[in-house]
């Protein structure tokens, strides 16, 4: 996920990094190819997270089988495959409540995201409609209260 956007000049950034490397005596890399259009556009975090929640909402949906081991690794993959095939009913039953919870989280996130977008739009409309004003007028001074001392009774 890239959140940089087009507002960062990529060529200038790479040039500055390479200059700093040269000053420290480190060899610079070969010429980097920066696309003409610059870096990728901004990713909206709200929609990105909602999409990720959609894709991963069902915990019983298995990830692809793979291994980083050599030799015995293929046996491990076969063992995982056999476990999934024989125990899928148990896995589904065990994770059913988590699947329901994940669905509620996804739906709540979608509602909150929609509300955030609506509020952002409303703030932008209000900023556009209201011209900037000077400092708010100072409130009038509070009235001074003069304490009244109780009178002493006169002696007779």
Q: How far is CA 10 from the centre of its chain?
A: 23
Mean pLDDT of 42-56: 82
pTM of the model: 0.48
Positive or negative, the Cα torsion across 112, 113, 118, 120? Answer: positive
For 59, which DSSP code? T
The C-alpha angle with vertex 26 and arms to 22 and 32, in degrees rounded to 5, equals: 70
Domain coordinates in residue numbering, the chain:
1-43, 44-129
Q: Does residue 65 or residue 29 have the better pLDDT?
A: 65
- Give pLDDT tens digits for 82-135: 998 999 899 889 989 998 999 899 899 889 988 998 999 999 999 988 776 667
């Amino acid at each position: 996920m890239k959140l940089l956007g087009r507002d960062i000049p990529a060529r200038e950034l790479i040039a500055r990094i390479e200059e700093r490397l040269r000053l420290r005596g480190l060899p610079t890399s070969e010429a980097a190819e920066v696309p003409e259009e610059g870096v990728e556009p901004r990713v909206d975090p709200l929609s990105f997270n909602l999409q990720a929640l959609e894709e991963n909402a069902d915990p019983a949906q298995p990830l692809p089988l793979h291994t980083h081991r050599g030799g015995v690794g293929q046996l491990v993959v076969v063992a995982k495959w056999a476990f999934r095939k024989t125990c899928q009913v148990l896995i589904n039953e065990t994770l059913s409540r988590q699947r329901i919870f994940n669905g509620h989280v996804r739906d709540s996130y979608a509602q909150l995201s929609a509300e955030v977008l609506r509020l952002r739009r409303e703030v932008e409309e209000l900023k556009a409609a209201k011209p900037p004003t000077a400092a708010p007028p100072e409130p009038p001074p509070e009235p001074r209260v003069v304490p009244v001392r109780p009178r002493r009774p006169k002696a007779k």
